[in-house]
Structure 1
Amino acid sequence: MHVRNVRPGPRVVTAALCATLALVGYLKVYDQPPGPEAAPGARASAAKNTGADAPPLPARTPEAQVPSVLPGVGPVTRTRIPDGTSQVFVVTGRTQDTNVATATLYERDAAGRWSRTAGPWSAHNALRGWTDDHWAGDLRSPTGVFRLGDAGGRLPDPGSQLPYDEDEEFVSPGVGFLGEPLEGSFDYVVAIDYNRVPGTTPLNKERPLGLEKGGGVWVHVDHGGPTQACISLTTDAMRELLLALDPAKEPVIVMGPADKVGR
């Protein structure tokens, strides 16, 4: 039998070329991993435009499922927050020497995401600002991470979940650094566990680190000026904070100048 070599005609060549290009296009779109800039919507659109039955794309973890970082709190400070804490009251000033601050309450959910639950509120701190080494009378607020576990005040308990000591001894006579009256400053207080015995009334004057290291550092009602060492909020903000703090969430306060807290 004689076999004749037949050269493919133009139509056959064209069809073969189109098939090859289609295969290359398929490999380009689906067999190569998408670059970091390729969003899921863009990949879905590309699959639709090819008209091909695209294989399933690898699932991407939604951004909402990625645990967020506690806003404004840096990695060094975060290491000082107890693992069991899911409620953090962040109070920061603009610089080391400022006596006005911003206060915000955050909570962490079961997925590890932090969200703002109260605030931000305007606040005051000590007259001369902040310090890493607080001493009695230095007129600076101590920086750091401290437990919040006990509350009280001259006024009746507004519904606090923390142990609350109503006592007429929560009084502050006289005037502040700007000549403003201090009356009512201790209507509501939350004790900051700096140089105090946890689990006792804020009025307890026992100082484990010694009297020279100061004490009686509270979150209390703002009197319109800087404090001796405390953090102060408006009456409404104090009431809201008292209602929000939950001992089951092991609340702490993170306090200091913003650049220090952010480290």
Structure 2
Amino acid sequence: MFTPARYVIVDDNPDELKQLSDCMQKIGAPCLPLRYDQAEGIETKHLGGVRLLFLDLHLTTGAQSGSIAQTAGLIVSMLEEGIVATAGPYVIILWTKHQEQKADFEAYVMENLEPLKRPLAILSLDKNNYLAGDAGEKLTNDVGQIIETDPRLRALLDWEREVLRAAGSTLSEIGTLVAKEDRTAARFSERLDEILSLLAFEAVGDANAKADPYSAINAALMPILTDRIANQRTDPKSNAIWQAAVTKIAEVPQPSPGDAAKLNSMLHIARAST
């Protein structure tokens, strides 16, 4: 019923976990803070829809030095279990006091993690810059800047945000069909049922609507949603975001036969969701 968290923080230190979590809240990015327990780990199901994954590099005591394999191996196991390949791209942002180990960590992850579950990029924030005094404002600014470091990630997040806004606008349109006098505890939900039933009936007819109400409502709402996605863009920065992300239009590489087949399938064949 609930949308998986898009911004997730994993740290074993509760104070540092709270510091970064508070910062994300301030910039308007509601996040899910997960304290890593050395005995229990975390509930990896919470990684199923992540876009930005903030990770403390060293989640276990005694893993601060030596080979990166111990700490990176633990994280790779966590990602293998929690990341859903069909949920879309994500980025890891290391939240660490050991910036010097970032390159080794990145190499280990890219070599050992299942390809379809690998992150789009691995970025990092140095904890040492924020632990002394009141560094909240600096951390807030730096998190905002690092999110914008990868133009492709920024563009995809922009598109996803527009789709969510369009979905909200579509639901709002349905809500406006409920008259003011019907917006009571006794009547509001029932009136929505009547409206949805009417939409389903008008979209596909009585028998089909009864057999598959979801598909019927989807057929009714999809044109509204599509219109909103196509025409609602108002952010003046949006075009610049996409200009920075899509740069090879004049020199588009020829796809391999396999890639061409995947593109054609994606564009022309509807697959049942699993």
Normalising to structure 1: TM-score of the pair?
0.22
Q: Which has the higher contact order (CA 8 A, sep 6+)?
A: 1
Between structures 1 and 2, the one with greater strand share: 1
Higher helix content, 1 or 2: 2
TM-score (norm 2): 0.21
